[in-house]
Every structure is written in C-alpha cells, then in structure tokens.
Amino acid sequence: MDAKYNPLFESFTFRSGVKLENRVVMAPMTNWSSNLDGTVSDAEIDYYSRRAGGVGLVITACTNVSVNGQGFHGEFAGFSDEMIPSLARLATTIKEKGSKAVLQIFHGGRQCPPELVNGDVVSASAVPTDDGKVTPRALSDEEILAIIQDFSEVTRRAIEAGYDGVEIHGANNYLIHQFFSGFTNRREDRWGGNVENRLAFPLAVVDAVKKAVAEYAKGPFLVGYRLSPEEPEDEGITMKDTFVLLDALAKKDLDYIHVSLMDFWSEPRRGVEGKGLSRMELIRDHVGKRVPIMGVGSIQTADDGLKALEIGIPLIALGRELIAEPDWVEKIQSGREEDIATTVSREAQEVLVVPDPLWQAIIGSPGWFPVV
C-alpha cells in the first residue's frame, strides 16, 4: 500500500468505547429489497456481505421504529420484537465480515407512502408534500410521546440483535428533520415555534435512545445522529439553525454526527456570511472539537478520501461509491487504488451483488449514478 494512504487505515475509538479498524464507513442507503413481511431478505444479506469486509463500520439502511413510520417499499422493519431475529441476521452478517454494525433508526413522517401506513400520513404539521399529493396529519402530543418511546424500544431491539450501535436519522426530510424545520413544523405548542422548541423532538429522541443504551447495553454501544444542514425553502433549515442544533447535540455525549450531503465539498446557501468555507468545514469549525464528524458525499477515489480526512474530518462514509466498487478498501490496501471503479456498468449487477429493486433504480435514475 502507498504510505500516503495510511491515514485512511488508522483505528478510531468512539467515546462509547466502540473501536473501528479504519476510518472508512459504509453509508446507509435504501435498497427497497426487504421481504413483504418486513424481514431482511436473502438479497439484502448478500448485498451487505459483499461490502462489509473492508470498511470499519457499516451503517444499515433505515428501519422504521413505528408501524406508521415506513418510508419506503421494501424496507426492513424494527417496530416489534418479532423483528429481532431478522435484525440479528443482518448484524451477524456484517460482523462476521469484520466490520462494526450500526442500525439506522427513523420514522418517515410525511414522506411515508400512504399505501404503507393505511393512508394515515403524519408529521409535525399539516404541510403538503413537495409534489402536493399528500397532506399529512399533525401528530398529537400523546402520539409524539409514543413515537419517542418507539425510538427507545428499537434501540433495545438493536442491542438484543447484536448491533454495535444505532444512528438516529435526523436528516433527509424524515420525521425528526420535519420537526426541526421551520418549513414543515408550524406548531404553536411545546414542539414548535422558535428554533429551541423545534429542537424539542429531536433532543427527546436522543435522550430516549441514550436512556435505553444505559439500561440495556452490557458493553460499548454507540449512538450517532445524522443531519441535513440546509433546506432550499425560505422557511427551512439554514446553517445558522444547524449551528444551534449542533450545539445542542454536542451536549448529549454522542459518538458522532453524520452530515448528510450529496457533495462533501458543497457550499452553504445562507445563514453564514463571508467565510468562503464548505458546509463540512463550517461544521468542523463549529463543533468538530466537541464531537467527531462523519462526512459523506461524492467521495470516489482514494485521494478523495484522503483529502476529506486531511481537513480534519475523522470519518468518511461511502454510499454510491461502495455500490460501484465493493472492494474500495481492499484495492487501496493492496496498492491497486488506480483500479477503483467510479462508474457502474449496465452489465455488472451480478458481479456487484446488487438487489433487483436497487439496480432498477440505479439504471432508471439518470444522474444518480455514473452509469456506462
């Protein structure tokens, strides 16, 4: 291996005591491939097994904590104890390959397809979806408290299933994000209004998850939080809002904050003045000394990964690139970084071990993947 890539392969120990063998993470990516009963399918097991060997950590696709929180067709479930064997099967597959396994937990909120939640789509407020096809119902106080408890319960299940941690999905316009955003949260009670009140639900979820870990985990078990730093809408999340969220999360003894971006080097829309830094650099400067940051977004080559680490981001997550190149880590380690694939061949599904629904989405969504 070229010695210049040594930083990618330094070990990393989280606050909780969970230790990674390197700094490379498999990012959570929806694959639409679970069984109809919500259990993990054989195709998913094969898909994760193909990618879990080299990376230090695998974060699974999201699992819904509540029956009415399913955000996708073909999503594996975590909302009942009946799902523990399914969850355990995936955790075991990942860990047998040598990677740590983290279960991403979420509620889809207004992003849930109506047919998956008996038509009862819920959110912080009754704000129509972007396509105007669905107007969610605003959750009651009692329902909000029940969903917070659901996050606690799925954390217990993750512990029982053998995971090394959970990632709270507070990004990508799902329910936690919807509560923090002034665009989707128009409430006037304790769960909405000013930015501090809009923080109430995300922080209550973090507290519930942390409490479950303290009660049920017998050894090191990490808790991460994923966020999206900005929204395009005028009333939406700004970098200034995100700094408030980061300050609050930094007080929660989290193991990491995962910044969800399509491009690691993207620049802010608004909320900061005249700094000339990327969103990732702004977040690093604001909170990086208090909690480790995980960055993601169009990191493809070994040099891309090295450049990301060199600005002071300790962990890099690969999503699309690990689908295109499952042997990303191994090729760098064996001095074959020039052989890393950064495009996807239309004939490569079997070699890449990609489930049919995900493959169809890759091929049928121009611009998402570099398909050749």
- The total number of residues shown for the chain amounts to 372
**CB proximity list for 69: less than 8 A, separation 6 or greater:** 79, 106, 107, 108, 109, 112, 117, 147, 150, 175
Torsion of Cα atoms, 255 then 208 then 96 then 47, to 10°: -100
Active-site hit among 47, 174, 225, 256: 174
Read off the tokens for 135.
């107007």
Phi-psi region of 28 (alpha: psi -120 to 50; beta: other; left: phi over 0): beta
d(CA 307, CA 305): 5
174 catalytic per annotation: yes
Taking the C-alpha atoms of residue 75 and residue 88, their distance in angstroms, rounded to an integer, is 16
Q: CA-CA distance, 265 to 261, in Å (whole number)?
A: 9
- 238 DSSP 8-state letter: -
3-state SS of the chain: helix, strand, coil percent to 5?
A: 40, 15, 45
How do 12-13 and 19-20 pair as beta strands?
Answer: antiparallel
| Token pair in block for residue 100 | 């740590």
Please give the single-letter amino acid code of residue 326.
P
Alpha-carbon distance 98 to 58, whole Å? 10
Structure tokens that stand for 85 in this block = 């064997």
- Quick one: tokens of 161? 């299933």
Query: How far, in Å, CA of 53 to CA of 21, rounded?
Result: 11
The residues facing 296 across adjacent strands are 317
Q: Which residues are catalytic?
A: 174
